[in-house]
């Protein structure tokens, strides 16, 4: 595996793949890699001739400077973890990614007005800034994203449509720890006693899914909110049941063909997100 730090070097490698008509699978990451990322990379390995990942903690998608400062960083360990799977790990500096201050904006319409949108103003604009740059540099045939960041997948699909990128977005199922907690780089920030409590989020979502066959959407939402309110360690930011395509809130489970429930909870000062597909 080659570790590449500059656009020029990356451009040379990509040109060689293109000249050889090799398909490219791409996995953008912010590092602190775990089994969820490696699952995306292994799937990309099976479906493409060349596999490129990026490791870059993108400052433009953090609306909270403390969150950016605290974000776990372990570049050497990450490079080691991906070395047997990827052909290239692109690890640029901030100056390399943003030689000029990025100023573009993207119109994601209502997609940006729900859930993570109002909770993290500017977050998806920052994600789009970095992902569009990476897509233009790597020119992948397929790009892989975990379904834990459900709204991010929808935003990236919208970005691809807006920019007419000839890239297939491949959403991949959430990878969970054996106790059910969705894997996330942020889990490493939890103290061990709080980490033990964190699977409560997943178990609540599973109970909500079971209830959804016999209860109304309002009752299911109320159940999740009451469960979270019942333990003072957890602070619910939102739980939203929505149309899984548009991510707009619905009032009945029958209102959409595919329905998802997305949750964001604070535990031990750490922001955890998860979701459940109801149907
Ligand atoms: O999901 C992430 O880790 C990031 O949002 C991404 C897609 C790598 C962009 O920085």
Ligand 1 centre from 149 Cα, in Å?
Answer: 9
Ligand 1 centre from 231 Cα, in Å?
Answer: 30
Return the structure tokens found at 202. Answer: 């997943």
Q: What is the pLDDT of residue 30?
A: 97
Q: In this prediction, what percent of the chain has a pLDDT beyond 90?
A: 97
pLDDT confidence bin for 96, thresholds 50/70/90: very high
| CA 265 distance to own-chain centroid | 16
Let me know: does 221 contact 238? Beta carbons within 8 Å. no
User: Which residue out of 5, 34, 37, 123 is catalytically annotated?
Assistant: 37
Q: Is residue 37 annotated as a catalytic residue, yes or no? A: yes
pLDDT confidence bin for 117, thresholds 50/70/90: very high
- Pocket residues: Cβ below 6 A from ligand 1: 28-30, 58, 61, 127, 130-131, 149, 152
pLDDT confidence bin for 159, thresholds 50/70/90: very high
Q: What is the pLDDT of residue 156?
A: 98
Average pLDDT, the chain: 97
What one-character DSSP code corresponds to residue 60?
Answer: G
Mean pLDDT, range 181-197, rounded to an integer? 96
Instruction: Measure the CA–CA gap between 154 and 152, rounded to whole angstroms.
Output: 5
271 pairs with which residues across the strands?
A: 266
Q: What is the pLDDT of residue 134?
A: 98
Let me know: does 247 contact 155? Beta carbons within 8 Å. no
Q: What is the pLDDT of residue 215?
A: 98
pLDDT confidence bin for 183, thresholds 50/70/90: very high
Ligand 1 centre from 235 Cα, in Å?
Answer: 24
Q: Which candidate, 186, 160, 163, 182, places its Cα nearest to that of 173?
A: 182
Q: In this prediction, what percent of the chain has a pLDDT beyond 70?
A: 100
pLDDT confidence bin for 28, thresholds 50/70/90: very high
């Amino acid at each position: 595996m080659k570790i590449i730090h500059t656009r020029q070097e990356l451009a040379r490698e990509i040109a060689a793949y293109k000249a050889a008509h090799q398909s490219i699978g791409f996995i953008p990451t912010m590092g602190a890699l775990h089994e969820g990322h490696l699952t995306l990379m292994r799937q990309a390995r099976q479906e493409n001739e060349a596999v490129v990942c990026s490791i870059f903690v993108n400052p433009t998608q953090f609306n909270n400077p403390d969150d950016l400062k605290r974000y776990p960083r372990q570049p050497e360990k990450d490079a080691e973890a991906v070395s047997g799977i990827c052909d290239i790990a692109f690890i640029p500096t901030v100056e390399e990614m943003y030689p000029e201050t990025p100023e573009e904006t993207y119109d994601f319409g209502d997609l940006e007005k729900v859930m993570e949108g109002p909770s993290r103003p500017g977050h998806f604009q920052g994600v789009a800034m970095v992902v569009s740059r990476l897509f233009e540099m790597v020119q992948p045939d397929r790009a892989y994203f975990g379904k834990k960041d459900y709204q991010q997948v929808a935003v990236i699909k919208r970005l691809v449509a807006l920019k007419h990128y000839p890239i297939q977005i491949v959403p991949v199922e959430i990878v969970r720890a054996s106790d059910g907690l969705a894997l996330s780089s942020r889990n490493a920030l939890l103290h061990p006693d709080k980490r033990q409590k964190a699977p409560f989020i997943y178990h609540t979502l599973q109970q909500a899914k079971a209830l959804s066959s016999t209860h109304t959407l309002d009752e299911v939402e109320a159940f999740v909110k009451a469960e979270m309110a019942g333990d003072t360690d957890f602070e619910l930011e939102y739980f939203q049941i929505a149309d899984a395509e548009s991510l707009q809130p619905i009032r009945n489970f029958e209102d959409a063909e595919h329905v998802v429930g997305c949750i964001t909870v604070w535990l031990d000062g750490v922001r955890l997100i998860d979701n459940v597909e109801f149907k």
